[in-house]
Amino acid sequence: MDRREFLRLGGVACAAAASPLVIPRSVAAEGAPRHPARHWEAIDGGRVRCMLCPRMCTLASRERGYCGVRKAEDGHLYTLVHSRPCSVRNDPIEKKPLFHYHPGTDSFSLATAGCNLGCLFCQNWRISQFRPEEVESIHLPPDQVVSQALSAGSRSIACTYSEPIAFYEYTYDIAAESRRRGIGTVMISNGFINRRPMEQLLDVLDAVKIDLKAFRDTFYRELCDAELRPVLDTLRLIRSRGVWLEIVVLLVPTRNDDEGEIRAMARWILQELGPDVPLHFTRFHPTYRLTNLPSTPVRTLERSRQIALDVGLHYVYAGNVPGHPGEDTFCHGCGHHLISRDGFVIRFNRIRDGRCPACSVQIPGRWSR
């Protein structure tokens, strides 16, 4: 089976809607050779230190970092997943979710194995928590990614599903090639990355969606094996650089849905990022290693959304509840109903030249003509 057939199959929906397609063994090609990694330094004894994310993994020869995809060999660091996607499909941009970035368009989406977090509730754990040799992949270099996206009529390319920080070099090279050929690149990320690598990515990215897991460091440590502070630093950096930013918070019952925490989070976003950054509260469903909790009650999403609106944020959404009015976009100036959504489907979009047709106020975002 050739690459064209692989990509056609990549668009078929899975049984689990939240998970991307993991390509069957009969479709996958042999793995590509290792690729030089960026953002590392040589240290004593032939070891290397990865400088990509706050873990700063120190590795002896043949050891891998926490992410499972960056490997030290003979005093150098390599990535094992460059040009090796294990999931490829054309998605609605609303699935990311990015609601203020060219709504109603498709985003050519891909992922490799690996992640630098260990979230107990990961929706895509079958690829994010596996090593590259444990999932099937094909060889698809950046120039071919862009060509396939253009052929598919996609408005953008999305590095998503697992964690683009883990496949940093691939993400960067795709975004650079995309920009050269006139198509946007978006990154769907946990934001757990050091400043310098993120600065370089922002030179070539058009939009970023950050999964803000919670607003308590204890949640990050206990459920994600990470820290909150670097993620907040990343959010500030993205906003300061003018790259389009949206935030998603998966509300996990009893773990990060306290009203006081939601209010503190919304106030921080207002003060540090401004009122126009869209904030999505999405519904948790039991998965991976966190199956002892129920799905998030819809009333919890509604309450959290109202808290954030009351704090002063202009665009707050309720997600993973198709058909809920909290999916829709309303003008922050006059309240006019601008975009109606039903899941990933746009019912109507009344924004004209980036403005509300009723009061002419500028609507923050990136809007297609």
What radius of gyration do the chain's Cα atoms show?
Answer: 20
Which DSSP state fits 291? -
242 SS3 class: coil
Q: Which percentage of the chain shows pLDDT scores above 70? A: 91
Q: What is the pLDDT of residue 51?
A: 98
Cα separation, 216 vs 193, in Å, equals 18
Count Cα atoms within 13 angstroms, Cβ side, for 175: 24
Contact 46, 61 (CB under 8 A): yes
Q: How many residues does the chain have?
A: 369
Confidence of residue 26 (pLDDT cuts 50, 70, 90): very low
- CA 76 and chain centroid, separation: 28
Name, in order, each residue with C-beta under 8 angstroms of 158's C-beta and a sequence gap of 6 or more. 91, 93, 96, 107, 108, 109, 110, 185, 186, 187, 188
Q: Which of these ranges, 26-40, 55-69, 108-122, 339-353, has the smallest mean pLDDT?
A: 26-40
Helix, strand, coil proportions of the chain in percent (round to 5)? 30, 20, 50
User: Is 2 inside any structural domain?
Assistant: no
Q: Letter for the amino acid at 195?
A: R
Q: What is the pLDDT of residue 17?
A: 35
Q: What is the pLDDT of residue 368?
A: 78
User: Is 17 inside any structural domain?
Assistant: no
User: Is 356 inside any structural domain?
Assistant: no
Residue reference for tokens 């002063």 = 312
Judge whether residue 59 has pLDDT over 90: yes
Judge whether residue 353 has pLDDT over 70: yes
Which CATH number belongs to the domain containing residue 345 in this structure? 3.20.20.70
Residue reference for tokens 């590795």 = 59
Beta strands in the chain (DSSP E): 35-36, 40-42, 48-50, 58-59, 70-73, 76-79, 87-92, 106-111, 156-159, 184-189, 207-211, 244-251, 279-283, 316-319, 329-330, 337-342, 345-349
Q: What is the pLDDT of residues 160-203, one digit of tens each?
A: 999 999 999 999 999 999 999 999 999 999 999 999 999 999 99
**Structural domain count, the chain:** 1
Judge whether residue 149 has pLDDT over 60: yes
Calculate mean pLDDT across residues 318-343: 96
Calculate mean pLDDT across residues 205-216: 98
Cα separation, 323 vs 330, in Å, equals 15
User: Is 299 inside any structural domain?
Assistant: yes
Q: What is the pLDDT of residue 369?
A: 59
Beta strands in 70-164 (DSSP E): 70-73, 76-79, 87-92, 106-111, 156-159
User: Is 154 inside any structural domain?
Assistant: yes
User: Is 76 inside any structural domain?
Assistant: no
Cα separation, 41 vs 23, in Å, equals 35
Q: What is the pLDDT of residue 147?
A: 98
Confidence of residue 271 (pLDDT cuts 50, 70, 90): very high
Cα separation, 259 vs 72, in Å, equals 45
Q: What is the pLDDT of residue 216?
A: 98
User: Is 294 inside any structural domain?
Assistant: yes
Judge whether residue 314 has pLDDT over 70: yes
Judge whether residue 18 has pLDDT over 50: no
Q: What is the pLDDT of residue 262?
A: 98
Q: What is the pLDDT of residue 10?
A: 47
List the domain range (segments joined by +) for residue 318: 87-349
User: Is 324 inside any structural domain?
Assistant: yes
